[in-house]
Amino acid sequence: MREKIESLIETLVPPEVGASSQLADSFLNSYRELLEDGDSYPPEITFPALFDFIVTAEYVKRMVADSGWMYCSGHDYSEGPSMYFPFLKTCPRCSVHSGSKPTAKSNKPGSDPIGDISGNATLLILSKILEYTSPTTQICKNLF
Ligand SMILES: [Zn+2]
């Protein structure tokens, strides 16, 4: 058993320190400032929002290209026409503003990249929480 655990430990790596880590730090610093100012943002809302923010940034980093954009005429919106790069199969503005769901090409990554992105985002958030709550605890992931 001890050999198996030592073998497993050799395959563990810490979370990557990259753009997503900087994004999480900025988000959490702003969150701390809001709390210090007396604003109330419950963690059960804040941390899922951070997760979505990190995942969307990773989608953008991996997927944005010259093709796959959609045009929204914006007839009913004061801001006028716009271009979007949707990750879901609809216009993000129309679905939020009017509840309509005009069909669009999805630019979402495949399921394997989504699994990697989601796992890394979860690991990153947990490591950031541990930096504050238990600084001597190290969190890692298995490469396999
Ligand atoms: Zn639209």
Pick the closest to residue 127 from 142, 141, 144, 115 (CA basis): 141
pLDDT of 31: 94
Six-digit token string for 22: 């900087």
CA–CA separation, 91 vs 103, rounded Å?
Answer: 7
Query: For residue 52, how far is its CA from the centre of ligand 1 (angstroms)?
Result: 21
Residue ranges covered by each domain of the chain: 1-64+111-144, 65-106
Segment 74-102 mean pLDDT: 92
Residue 11 confidence (pLDDT) above 80: yes
Residues 26-49: pLDDT tens digits?
Answer: 999 999 999 999 988 899 999 999
d(CA 108, CA 12): 29
Res 54 pLDDT > 70: yes
Spacing, Cα 13 to ligand 1 middle (Å)? 42
CA–centroid distance, 81 to ligand 1, in Å, is: 8
Give the rounded percent of residues in the chain with a pLDDT score beyond 70. 99
Ligand 1 geometric centre to CA of 54 (Å): 24
| Residue-level pLDDT at 144 | 67
- The pLDDT value given to residue 39: 87
84 within 8 A of 64, measured Cβ to Cβ: no
Mean pLDDT, range 69-97, rounded to an integer: 93
Distance 3 CA to ligand 1 centre (A): 57
Residues flanking ion ligand 1, Cβ below 5 Å: 72, 91, 93-94
pLDDT score at 30? 95
Between 3 and 17, the higher pLDDT residue: 3
SS3 content of the chain, % helix, strand, coil (to 5): 55, 10, 40
For range 119-133, the mean pLDDT: 92
Q: What local confidence, expressed as pLDDT, does residue 14 receive? A: 84
Residue 112 Cα to ligand 1 midpoint, Å, equals 29
Which residues touch 14 (CB under 8 Å, ≥6 apart)?
127, 138, 139, 140
| Ligand 1: centre distance to CA 84 (Å) | 8
